[in-house]
Amino acid sequence: MVKLSVIVPFYNVQQYAPDTLRSLRANARADFEFVLVDDCSRDGTPEILARAERELSDVAQIRLVRHEQNGGLATARNTGLDASSGEYVTFLDGDDWLAPGYYEQLLASIEDLGCDFVRVDHVQCTARARSVHRVPHGRRGVVMDPRAAILPADRSTSVDYAYAWAGIYHRRLADKGLLHFTDGLRTAEDRPWIWKLHREAESFAVASHLGVFYRRGVASSLTQIGDVRQLDFIRAFDQVVRETAQDRDAAQLLPKAVRTYCAIISHHLGSIERFEPAVARKLRSMSAAALKRMPQDVLNDALDSMDIQRASRLRRLRRRPVSTEVAA
């Protein structure tokens, strides 16, 4: 029986994949399953994964899956989920790495706590700099209702810490449809996912394990590329607001969803120079349309609660005319 499935998408990461795979070996166990998903890489990644499939098979169970077309991170994770069989599931990105023995600690935590999922801190690595990023949730090692960790609206909470790889999840969540991502999302794919998890799962906890090393500033990462795929954050947050509006506690939760959406729009507008000119124009028009789609009373309250710079930027954008095509 497979105890833990680790789902690892790879796309054009030949420079980093060897480090990722070495760290998997340092976390291997006979009842662990590593599901390696090649999302139609066009560099040397497929050869690296083929070699890893042979070399890791003596220490863990290996599944190598290849996409014929590039589908993006969300789709690759879904492919890995569908191919996995472990009692527990976790994720890793193909350019990140792990501390030795980390997965045994993570597995022990969720088994001891007996909850649906456990969230953990991580180390962010930018060039040679290292910084610890913690789950914005004060209580550690205590099982709670995930819905209780969504609010307050004006502070960073667990739904703002959206990294799928910073945690471990029981298989029953996948069986309930709570672990799959919105197919085709190229960025912000973790946002609808973490909100749904917190709204619909029954129990979670935060544990103080530190073993995931997140490589930030990778040139091929979408967070570093100002092309049209970055605008998928709008589709992602539209989904968050739409689904939260249908929740039984919509009146309490929507202010958080709308305020976060506004903050992300403002963030992108504040660094609009990194986008290609055509994409920058599209960002403005799509963001203006997004503001008009939000519940207007909730939006008014959100803007009133924000600092003057961000609120003014968003109010100007809100007044911008929007074409029928973009508004849809």
- 48-57, 69-78, 104-113, 271-280: which has the minimum mean pLDDT? 271-280
Q: What are the sequence ranges of the domains in the chain? A: 4-220, 226-327
Backbone φ and ψ of 83, nearest 5°? -90, -10
Report the share of the chain in percent with pLDDT over 70: 96
Query: What pLDDT score was predicted for residue 138?
Result: 87
Beta strands (DSSP E) in 127-178 are 129-133, 167-170
* pLDDT tens, position by position, 243-252: 999 999 999 9
What would the mean pLDDT of 298-317 be, rounded to a whole number? 96
> CB of 256 within 8 A of CB of 150?
yes
pLDDT reported for residue 322: 79
Q: pLDDT value at position 281?
A: 94
Q: What's the whole-number mean pLDDT along residues 250-270?
A: 97
Average pLDDT, rounded, for the chain? 95
Token pair in block for residue 222:
């979408």
Give the bridge partners for 5, in sequence order.
Answer: 33, 89
pLDDT at 226: 59
The residue type found at 274 is: R
**What residues contact 109, with CB distance under 8 A and at least 6 apart?**
118, 168, 205, 207, 209
pLDDT of residue 224: 46
How wide is the angle at C-alpha 130 spanned by C-alphas 146 and 237, nearest 5°? 40
Q: Which pLDDT value is given to residue 217?
A: 78
pLDDT number for residue 218 = 65
CB 4 within 8 A of CB 30: no
The residue to which tokens 């924000």 are assigned: 306
Q: What share of the chain is helix, strand, coil (3-state, %, to 5)?
A: 45, 20, 35
Query: Which pLDDT value is given to residue 280?
Result: 94
What is the per-residue pLDDT for 326? 59
DSSP single-letter state for residue 41? -
Element (H, E) at 106: helix 102-113
> Quick one: pLDDT band at residue 325, thresholds 50, 70, 90?
low
Whole-angstrom CA distances from 32 to 7, 28, 58, 205, 307 are: 11, 6, 12, 22, 48
- Is the model's pLDDT at 39 over the cut of 90? yes
Mean pLDDT of 29-35: 98
pLDDT confidence of 227, banded at 50, 70, 90?
confident
Angle at 56 between CA 50 and CA 59, to 5 degrees: 165
Confidence tier at 314 by pLDDT (50, 70, 90) = very high
Question: DSSP assignment of 164-202, as one string?
Answer: TTSEEEEHHHHHTT-S---TT--SSTHHHHHHHHHHH-S
CATH architecture of the domain with residue range 4-220:
Alpha-Beta Complex (3.90)
pLDDT above 50: residue 130? yes
State whether the Cα torsion 268-272-277-283 is positive or negative: positive
219 has pLDDT over 80: no
- Decide if 148 contacts 158 (C-beta within 8 A): no
pLDDT higher than 50, residue 313: yes
Residue 225, pLDDT > 80, answer no
Contacts by 49-54 with C-beta closer than 8 Å and gap 24+? 49/10, 49/17, 52/17, 52/21
The overall pTM is greater than 0.85: yes
| DSSP 8-class letter at 144 | B
Rounded to a whole number, what is the largest CA-CA distance in the chain? Answer: 62
Buried/exposed 131-143: b ≥16 CB within 10 Å, e otherwise: eebebebeeeeee
Return the structure tokens found at 156: 């960073």
Whether the Cβ atoms of residue 77 and residue 45 lie closer than 8 Å to each other: no
Two tokens, residue 31: 């009842």
